[in-house]
């Protein structure tokens, strides 16, 4: 039984334990949470202690692997159903849980199925970086949104893995990091990862992106995805659509980077992607801060938005780079 480790998780197959780095505490505190019980993992995922589309799928699977040592089949299936429903938008969660459910029903080795999902995700991150890095021209000042790095996956990330590789190859000059309201995944997590990787970066408010693009200080936008529909529309952290529209207006390349496990061929278009609505208090105040808005002000807090395929320059997948013509011809339909 292996010991598996990534930036945000530690899994001990012999002991049947899983620990996850509490992403709500970063960057100022590195606190590890026990995620060996799927019931606890549901809470970690809902509170965003564990987050990022591929990462929540991997953690859900490994948590079921831990539970398989002590739970009956029907208990495991009940845990799987609760995990599957923990967040509605990221299809990687459903994809990973469904693979575990198939293993449970077929009486297969459940830890082996979960460990396979971890290993696949690591490999897919490396493949996305390999395919995406050549798209980054020398001297590029990239802009990114939310956190798409090692905390959001089992490997080096999606969009951030491309950025890391382009930097290692000497072409990436700088990263503009959107703070990513309301929960500040960019400000808290992406800056933490980029600093650890030694990549030059500057934190900006989300609303500064337009001004920087207008001033000619951004060369490309790279983002991740929580679900890509068959027609190429995709859901990602709220604020992504605004960036895509801005990039289009300023004739800048706009890349979405994701593993195949983020593609939902059964979803015909963006209109069919379920969008998570989160707690109004996330908007009334910042993480850990007292509310700055009236405590009863009505709030609209969609966690994701949908970017239409027409605004995407290319889809960087672990299987290769797709251009619009290929997507229009059905490359994401299976
Ligand atoms: O709400 P979050 O923090 O889980 O949202 C995460 C994102 O929107 C990421 O961009 C997406 O999951 C892709 S990350 C590999």
Q: Which domains does the chain have, with CATH numbers?
A: 3-125 (1.20.120.420), 131-328 (3.40.50.10470)
Hey, which residues are catalytic here?
226
Give the pairing type, strands 220-223 and 201-204: unpaired
User: Which DSSP letter does residue 190 get?
Assistant: I
Can you give the pTM of this predicted structure? 0.97
The CA angle 254-159-237, to the nearest 5 degrees, is: 75
Distance 145 CA to ligand 1 centre (A): 9
Distances (CA, A) of 74 to 67, 70, 154, 285: 12, 12, 28, 41
- pLDDT at residue 1, as a whole number: 57
Give, for ligand 1, the residue of 50, 152, 182 to mutate: max count of ligand atoms closer than 8 Å to Cβ. Answer: 152
CA nearest to 139, candidates 176, 177, 170: 170
Q: Could you tell me the two tokens for 201?
A: 């970066």
CA nearest to 209, candidates 172, 171, 248: 248
pLDDT mean across residues, the chain: 97
**What's the average model confidence in pLDDT over 55-81?**
97
**What's the average model confidence in pLDDT over 3-32?**
97
- Per residue in 297-310, pLDDT tens? 999 999 999 999 99
Asked whether residue 111 carries a pLDDT value surpassing 60, the answer given is yes
Distances (CA, A) of 290 to 19, 43, 295: 29, 22, 10
Whether 307 is in the pocket of ligand 1, judged by its Cβ within 6 Å, is no
Whether 226 is in the pocket of ligand 1, judged by its Cβ within 6 Å, is yes
**What's the average model confidence in pLDDT over 17-32?**
98
Q: Could you tell me the two tokens for 146?
A: 């939310």
With a pLDDT cut of 90, the percent of the chain lying above it is 98
Whether 241 is in the pocket of ligand 1, judged by its Cβ within 6 Å, is no
Q: How confident is the model at residue 287 (pLDDT cuts 50, 70, 90)?
A: confident
277: which strand partners? 302
H helices of 68-152, where?
Answer: 73-84, 91-105, 110-132
- pLDDT at residue 34, as a whole number: 98
Tell me the C-alpha distance between 269 and 271, whole Å: 5
Q: How confident is the model at residue 288 (pLDDT cuts 50, 70, 90)?
A: confident
Asked whether residue 311 carries a pLDDT value surpassing 80, the answer given is yes
């Amino acid at each position: 039984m292996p010991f598996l480790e990534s930036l945000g998780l530690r899994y001990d197959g012999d002991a049947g334990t899983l620990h996850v780095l509490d992403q709500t505490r970063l960057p100022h505190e590195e606190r590890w949470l026990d995620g060996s019980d799927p019931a606890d993992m549901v809470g970690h995922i809902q509170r965003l202690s564990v987050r990022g589309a591929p990462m929540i799928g991997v953690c859900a699977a490994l948590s079921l692997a831990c539970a398989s040592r002590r739970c009956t089949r029907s208990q495991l299936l009940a845990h799987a159903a609760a995990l599957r429903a923990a967040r509605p938008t990221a299809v990687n969660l459903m994809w990973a849980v469904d693979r575990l459910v198939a293993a449970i029903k077929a009486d297969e080795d459940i830890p082996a199925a979960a460990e396979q999902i971890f290993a696949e995700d690591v490999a897919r991150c490396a493949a996305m970086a390999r395919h995406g890095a050549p798209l980054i021209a020398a001297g590029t000042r990239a802009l990114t949104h939310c956190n798409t790095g090692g905390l959001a996956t089992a490997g080096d990330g999606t969009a951030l893995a491309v950025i890391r590789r382009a930097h290692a190859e000497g072409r990436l000059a700088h990263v503009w990091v959107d703070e990513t309201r309301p929960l500040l995944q960019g400000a808290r997590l992406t800056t933490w990862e980029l600093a650890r990787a030694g990549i030059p970066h500057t934190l900006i408010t989300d609303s500064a992106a337009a001004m920087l693009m207008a001033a000619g200080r951004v060369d490309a936008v790279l983002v991740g995805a929580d679900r890509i529909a068959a027609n190429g529309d995709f859901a990602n952290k709220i604020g992504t659509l605004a960036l895509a529209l801005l990039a289009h207006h300023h004739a800048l390349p706009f890349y979405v980077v994701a593993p195949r496990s983020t593609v939902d061929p059964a979803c015909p278009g963006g209109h069919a992607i379920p969008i998570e609505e989160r707690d109004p208090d996330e908007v009334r105040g910042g993480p850990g801060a007292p509310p700055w808005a009236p405590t009863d002000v009505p709030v609209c807090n969609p966690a994701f938005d949908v970017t239409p395929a027409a605004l995407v320059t290319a889809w960087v997948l672990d299987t290769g780079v797709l251009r619009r013509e290929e997507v229009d011809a059905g490359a994401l339909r299976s």
